[in-house]
Amino acid sequence: QQPVQSPQAVILREGEDAVINCSSSKALYSVHWYRQKHGEAPVFLMILLKGGEQKGHEKISASFNEKKQQSSLYLTASQLSYSGTYFCGTSGTSYGKLTFGQGTILTVHP
């Protein structure tokens, strides 16, 4: 079953922060986050595994609440290069096979 992302779209000015959420109705083992720019392939950002952890990647970090079956992606001090569509991908097992959410379109303006 497809995870649900919110919001569907976000518009920011450079330097502003954003949070993108991903919720599943099924128990999750892992959550992946990807960014896709228009006409390009998705690019891997990070994985969070069952156990409820938080990870950081420069100014982009994420958390995973296993009990709530939710993950959040945090983008701080946004840059123009952050623009794109962000997808979460979820798996209920330890062997991958992701189902992707519908995506969140992030637009950063100067």
**Interface with another protein (CB under 8 A):** 2, 29-30, 32, 34, 40-44, 46-47, 49, 87, 89, 91, 93-103
Q: How far is the CB of 55 from another protein (least distance, A)?
A: 12
- Confirm if 3 and 104 have CB atoms less than 8 A apart: no
User: Closest separation between CB of residue 92 and another protein, Å?
Assistant: 11
39: phi > 0 → left, psi -120 to 50 → alpha, else beta; which? left
Q: Which is nearer to another protein, 43 or 80 (CB)?
A: 43
**What are the tokens at 36?**
């896709």
Shortest distance, position 70 Cβ to another protein, whole Å: 18
Q: Which one, 13 or 38, has the nearer CB to another protein? A: 38
Cβ closest to another protein, residue 88 vs residue 108: 88
